[in-house]
Amino acid sequence: MTVNNRIILKKEKYLMLNYLEKKLDYKFKNKTLLNEALTHPSFQKKSLKDKTTNNQRLEFLGDSVLNLIVTEHLYRKLTSFSEGKLTKIKSVMVSKDILAKWADRLSLGKYIILGKGEDSTGGRNKLSILADCFEALLGAIYLDSGLQKAKKIISSFINKETELIMKGKYGEDYKTLLQEISQKKMKCLPEYCLIKEKGPDHKKIFCIEVRLKKIIYGSGTGENKKEAEQNAAQNALKKLKITK
């Protein structure tokens, strides 16, 4: 259901907000906060009786809440990463591109209340508008229920993004991390050993073990050696309690 930027009937607005709450798995105590989080500055009030304000102040608050949550998450999750690497990863995770992707997972574009002009020029799909709305939504949740609830709501987004980072999407990978850890803590380099290959030539599966000081720390499979090595390194990191 796309928001009609004419006069929105109370019942229609209630249903619209209810759909989004189901996606969030969160029920707002103060529905005004949710409505405000979805209201873009381009939307013009229809009368003096309309008390709706736009989402800029909530966006400002949500930006700070997001930075705190992401910073703490990375600090606790990536215990071996330097300050420089953590800063680099954080900058990616709070970027407009990532926030817009998270907003898209919630289909926020369907619920944003836009001015007629902005709506007609594709505002619902603009990265900046989606990202700002996501931050405003987080700010609204923070005001409605506090920091812990805000953390819980976005934990799945952050955890998934961290996994992508660890798999090499943003310049880090399990093999590199394992090498850094093993050099630092065990004064050795990982050794990857091909254990077996199975399946037909056109669809082989490779099985690889990774050893540190001749002790097996993990094994992994993959459709090529590189993938199998990454999976083996990931399992080794789990054994070392670096990742979950």
Can you say which residues are annotated as belonging to the binding site for Mg(2+)? Answer: 59, 132, 135
Beta strand pairing call for 205-212 and 215-222: antiparallel
For 130-166, give one letter per residue: b (16+ CB within 10 A) or e: bbbbbbbbbbbbbbbbeeeebbebbeebbeebbeebb
pLDDT of residue 243: 59
Model-level pTM? 0.66
Find out whether 218 and 198 touch, Cβ atoms under 8 Å.
no
pLDDT in tens, 15-35: 778 889 999 999 999 999 999
pLDDT of 96-155, one tens digit each? 889 999 999 999 999 999 988 888 888 898 999 999 999 999 999 999 999 999 999 999
Active site residues: 63, 135
What domains can you pick out in the chain, each with its CATH number? 10-166 (1.10.1520.10), 176-239 (3.30.160.20)
> What stretch of H or E contains 176?
helix 174-181
DSSP 8-state assignment for residue 182: I
Q: What burial class does residue 82 get, using C-beta atoms within 10 Å of its C-beta: 0-12 exposed, 13-18 middle, 19+ buried? A: exposed
What element of type H or E holds 102?
A: helix 96-105
